[in-house]
Amino acid sequence: MQAFAILSDPVRRRILEDLCVQELSSGEIVSTVGEEFGISQSAISQHLKVLRENRFANVRIDGARRIYSLEPSGLKDIDQWLAPFRRFWEPKFAALAKEVESGKRKKRKKSR
């Protein structure tokens, strides 16, 4: 699957982690990710190109800056691949949510 090949690179995964939080200019990505991995602006540009071409990132022009954002449609293939495995963790998350809600109700009752 192409999506896993793209995300197998730690630099691209790191860029997506940052874009998941907020939009970033290419300069901000170079500053953080480039310094962390010790790679050049040119190398970061190549990674951004791969992410754009494979629907993991969007870019818009803002004056002289390129602003990148996460494009979730690239994660669709991975989401579909994970679908059969969800049955292993979804019941546990549902049980956890039920416990958290129960704890909140108890806390509200105590505070009255």
Domains and CATH numbers, the chain: 2-86 (1.10.10.10)
27-86 tens-digit pLDDT: 999 999 999 999 999 999 999 999 999 999 999 999 999 999 999 998 998 999 999 998
Closest C-alpha to 18, from 35, 32, 4: 32
Q: Would you call 104 exposed, middle or buried from its count of C-beta atoms within 10 A (0-12, 13-18, 19+)?
A: exposed
Pick the more confident residue, 66 or 106: 66
